[in-house]
Chains A and B, each alone.
Chain A
Amino acid sequence: MAKILLVEDNEMNRDMLSRRLMRKGHEVAMATDGREGVDMARSGEYDIVLMDMSLPEIDGWEATRRLKQAAETQALPIIALTAHAMAGDRDKALEAGCDDYDTKPIDLPRLLGKIEALLGSTT
């Protein structure tokens, strides 16, 4: 099972998604803004980051860029979680360096599939 860092400012979303992931047997750590997310990711404890895009302090795109620019976090897979499937969000997320993206509301089986795919390819 994977160690997942969930960066999400909305408490309800954070609570809901983390509990569902944990129910599937994953370990979940949480950050509530972009800066915290970047700091936690640098610890190297996590297999994958689920990154909300509209975050306080620094937003998800900027946080992703920083992680992908730093050598020690370059290989850390990041899945962008965007709000309602706004056209262009996918491009923007991929441009920022995200490895994949998914849209909210989260369809759990689909998200799990993406996590599995990324971790399968990196491990």
Chain B
Amino acid sequence: MTDQASPGITSERLIPGRGGVARRQAALLRLSTAIAAAHDEAAIYRSVVTGLRDEALGYNFIGVFVVDDDTGDRVLKASVGWPDVPDDWRVPFGKGLSARALEDGKLHYTADVTRESEYLPSLNSGSEVDVPLRVDDTTIGVLVVESSEPNAFGGEDFEILTAAANQASIAIGRVRLLADERRRADEHKALLDTMQDLVGELELSRVLQAVLERAVSLLGVTGGEVAIYEEDRRELVVVASENIGKNSTGTRLALGEGAMGAVAETLEPLIIPSYHEWLGQSGKYADVTVHAVMAAPLLIGRRLVGAIATVHSDPNRVFGPEDLRLVNLFAPQAAIAIENARLFTAERQRAEEQRALLATMTDLSSELELSKALQAVLERAVTLLGVTGGEVAIFDDATQELEVVASENIGKDSTGTRLTMGEGAMGVVAQTMEPLIIPSYHEWLGQSGKYADVLVHSVMAAPLLIGGRLVGAIATVHSDPERIFGGEDLRLLNLFAPQAAIAIENARLYTEARQQRKYFETLVDNSPVAIVTLDREERVVSCNPAFERLFGYAKQEAIGTNLDALITTDATRSEAEGYTREALNHPVHGIGRRSRKDGSLVDVEVLGVPVIVDGKRVGLMGLYHDITELLRARQAAEDANSAKSQFLASMSHELRTPLNAIIGYSEMVQEEVEDLGHDELGLDMQKIHTAGKHLLSLINNVLDLSKIEAGKMDVYAESFEIRSMLDEVAATARPLVDKNHNELVVRAPLDVGSMRTDLTKVRQMLLNLLSNACKFTEHGTITLEVAREAPATDGRAELVSFSVSDSGIGMSPEQMDGLFEAFSQAEASTTSRYGGTGLGLAITKRFSQMMGGDIQVQSAPGQGSTFTIRLPVEVAVTPTGATPD
């Protein structure tokens, strides 16, 4: 199994003259001690060859080969005696004599190497012993001892060499385990560092899901659960569940119930080798396929904050002390995560309160925050993976592009670079949503021109996903051509990807919340309305610039003081306090007078609303609108209106006196000329008479309306028989009814009785309605109907309803709109066709309201109209001068 031989070298092994048994045993002991003291594989190999070279043992040509896992080659790790052998001599898989020991894991002795075709000459002739090095039932290498003489070895040599090989194997296994452990510990540390950075920004359940996924991955288990302990209910509630055969999230466990319940009670970890035979199992997990369970309490000091359980569903897998050790390393970190998340939740709630209260917040740029978080994640990934550098990009939903936000040692600062889907390594993984390894980037066809100037040899990239949704991409690079990416690297990268994804998602949520908050803050700051927020003790928490302007107090003066003490006088104090008390519970609205810092008074419209965050009352918000100008304008408008009404009233009166003469004399003259037989003149006089009466009704209506608006229309209550009032109205309306050849039907129950209200107004209203009905109906029927009705609400007076229906032209909904407004008729054209002032219905509505009732209309084009007035059977007389509106 050795290469070339130097003919000049002769046997240096002194078989007959070897030292005594005691000397050999002493040499073996030294060998063992040296191996045991070795801290790494290279030291072990050195110890083996040096130890066997001991004079007492007398071996001269010794080598240790170790199998390269990737290629299967044997690589020479240490040797003595062989001439001209390269330090890292590689023997291809299957070649050479020592391949046999690798194949069957047994010692092989070749008495005469010259007879063997497989012999790769290291010496020209002689004999060779090949002893396998076995770790965990796998042959990982071979110990080769040669002699330049044939038949040089015997049974005692085999014992010595086997013992040395076994010692070495154990030591290698130990060192490898330690290295593995160290590597895992490094991973833990890096991951936990990363998580601790992020934990402050995560929701509890998401943190714990992340913790659990990591635990499942690192322990190599099927799945697991994490539960948090609710102190007030003394129960565990499962908040994260991973691959245990069902989603157990939300499951509640009492102390002592199930595996987690048990560890929560004992505060000690627990291994259950066969869960379905375990007596303590909870019925809530009867349907899961779990073989073995390992559970541990999550403690902060000795305080229980939760529990974690991991499971194997494979019956061949069991939990051992090593798993327990790992979970014990992990549990405190998970407990801290819970605690941090709890603190964070409290923190976030406070932040929400602040937002609701529109308090000033920090002005940190969220972009900066996100890039910092991602830079931290990236740096850790770069360190752990041992790569040259890397990048993280976030996915912009709007443009469907990736934007690089963190860049570490890739030969340039790529921050800000934008990549389309499919462009470059990150663009490809963003598109395929699968990780990618590019062994030689500059030969790769998919490379982006934007990275032409970087010194990158190989690239590994992975998409960043939140529940299957793309949020970004991460890439790591080797600039060293000797370094390549393998499956182990991908596994590590996949551990980091979720961290980066969560950081991006959190930053997005945070940015959204912050922008919303800024938006509201801007609104408040620019609002012309004075806005102030109070805590539950009614002290000012914040106020906006409009508040400062309105009341003259600087923000600093106002904050912390009782608002009502600040802006009220003795006269308005109790009213304002009433508002404040009410506003703590529900919105209030009112008008009042408040005082400024300089003592002057200001009329304000006040709106108070409770501020409720997460169902909890935290205070109230007050809005003050300066209405000084409004009140002044209103007073001016009222004065002007009153003057107008006064003018109209006196004008109407002055107009009526001469008009009475016109009407009276024209009627009289008409009668006289008709008696004298001047019929033509009589018709002319009738026209004057009719026009005069029309003008009079116009003037009367205007007078009524102006009186109503001036608040000078009073209600006189008098008792009257309803039926006799109707008879009188019907008689008065008779000429109107006859004019368009209509029929009037009056329906009044015999027992309709009497009412006490303003008779004159009732009569006028009914005549208005009848006059309208007659006007818009020809050859039809007009019905006047009266009935007593129960009141709409308990405790109110009984009602009397008067309905006037016609079979006339009716109205569309648009025509009915504004029907009761003054000077409104369905259409302007109807005025010319049907006449009328357009005031009748407005007056009727106002009269009915003054008498505590109302009027309604039902109609459709071509279907006629029904107007219904409802009045209390007894009117409550309003004091003289009171306005109905």
Contact = CB atoms under 8 A, between A and B. Distances in A.
Given A84-B656, A90-B760, A16 B665 contact: yes
Given A20-B671, A23-B672, A13 B664 contact: yes
A16 B661 contact: yes
Contacts of A84: 656, 700, 703
Q: Is the interface of B mostly helix, strand, loop or mixed?
A: helix
Nearest to A92: B716
A75 B160 CA distance: 161
Interface residues of B, number: 24
Contact of A85 (B671, B672, B715, B760): B760
A106 B671 contact: no
A9 to B, nearest CB: 12
A16 B759 CA distance: 29
Nearest to B671: A23
A87 B661 contact: no
Contacts of A104: 660
A56 interface: no
A90 B703 CA distance: 19
B661 A13 contact: yes
A105 B714 contact: no
B26 interface: no
A91 interface: yes
Interface in A1-36: 10, 12-13, 16-17, 19-20, 23
Given A84-B700, A87-B760, A105 B718 contact: no
Contact of A12 (B661, B714, B761): B661
Contacts of B758: 87
Given A19-B668, A20-B671, A108-B667, A87 B715 contact: yes
Contacts, number: 50
Contact of A105 (B663, B715, B760, B764): B663
B716 A87 contact: yes
Interface in B652-674: 656-657, 659-661, 663-665, 667-668, 671-672
Contacts of A90: 718, 759-760
B229 to A, nearest CB: 80
A88 interface: yes
A23 to B, nearest CB: 7
A13 B716 contact: no
Contact of B716 (A23, A91, A108): A91
B668 A105 contact: no
Contact of B761 (A19, A20, A87, A108): A87
B80 interface: no
A11 to B, nearest CB: 10
B613 interface: no
B696 interface: yes
Interface in B211-227: none
Interface in A88-118: 88, 90-91, 104-106, 108
A13 B715 contact: no
Interface in B750-775: 758-761, 764
Contacts of B671: 20, 23
B23 to A, nearest CB: 144
Nearest to B704: A84
A78 to B, nearest CB: 20
A26 to B, nearest CB: 14
B513 to A, nearest CB: 66
A13 B664 CA distance: 8
A58 B759 CA distance: 28
Contacts of A86: 760
A16 B716 contact: no
Contact of B668 (A16, A85, A87, A88): A16
B660 A105 contact: yes
A75 B672 CA distance: 34
B523 to A, nearest CB: 54
Contacts of A13: 660-661, 664
A88 B671 CA distance: 33
Contacts of A106: 664
A14 to B, nearest CB: 11
Interface string B692-733: 000010001001000000000011101000000000000000
Nearest to A86: B760
A79 B671 CA distance: 24
Interface in B618-670: 656-657, 659-661, 663-665, 667-668
A55 to B, nearest CB: 15
A82 B668 CA distance: 20
B660 A20 contact: no
Contacts of B696: 105
B752 to A, nearest CB: 21
Given A13-B664, A16-B664, A104-B660, A87 B714 contact: yes
Nearest to A89: B760
Contacts of A17: 664
Interface centre among B664, B703, B758 (most CB of A within 10 A): B664
A91 B661 contact: no
Contacts of B661: 12-13, 16
A4 B761 CA distance: 31
Contacts of A87: 714-716, 758-761
B844 to A, nearest CB: 15
A91 B700 CA distance: 21
Nearest to B731: A110
B656 A88 contact: no
A88 B758 CA distance: 8
A87 B757 CA distance: 11
Nearest to A16: B664
A87 B497 CA distance: 89
Contacts of A23: 668, 671-672
A108 B672 CA distance: 14
A97 B857 CA distance: 41
A91 B718 contact: yes
Contacts of B715: 87
A106 B689 CA distance: 13
21 contacts: A10-B657, A12-B660, A12-B664, A13-B661, A19-B668, A20-B664, A20-B668, A20-B671, A23-B668, A84-B656, A84-B703, A87-B715, A87-B759, A87-B761, A88-B760, A90-B718, A90-B759, A105-B659, A105-B664, A105-B696, A108-B667
Interface of B: 656-657, 659-661, 663-665, 667-668, 671-672, 696, 700, 703, 714-716, 718, 758-761, 764
Interface of A: 10, 12-13, 16-17, 19-20, 23, 84-88, 90-91, 104-106, 108
Given A20-B667, A23-B668, 19 more contacts: A13-B661, A13-B664, A16-B664, A17-B664, A20-B671, A23-B672, A84-B700, A85-B760, A87-B714, A87-B760, A87-B761, A90-B759, A90-B760, A104-B660, A105-B660, A105-B663, A105-B696, A106-B664, A108-B667
The 7 A-B pairs of least Cβ separation, nearest first, read: A88-B716, A87-B760, A16-B664, A87-B716, A12-B661, A105-B660, A20-B668
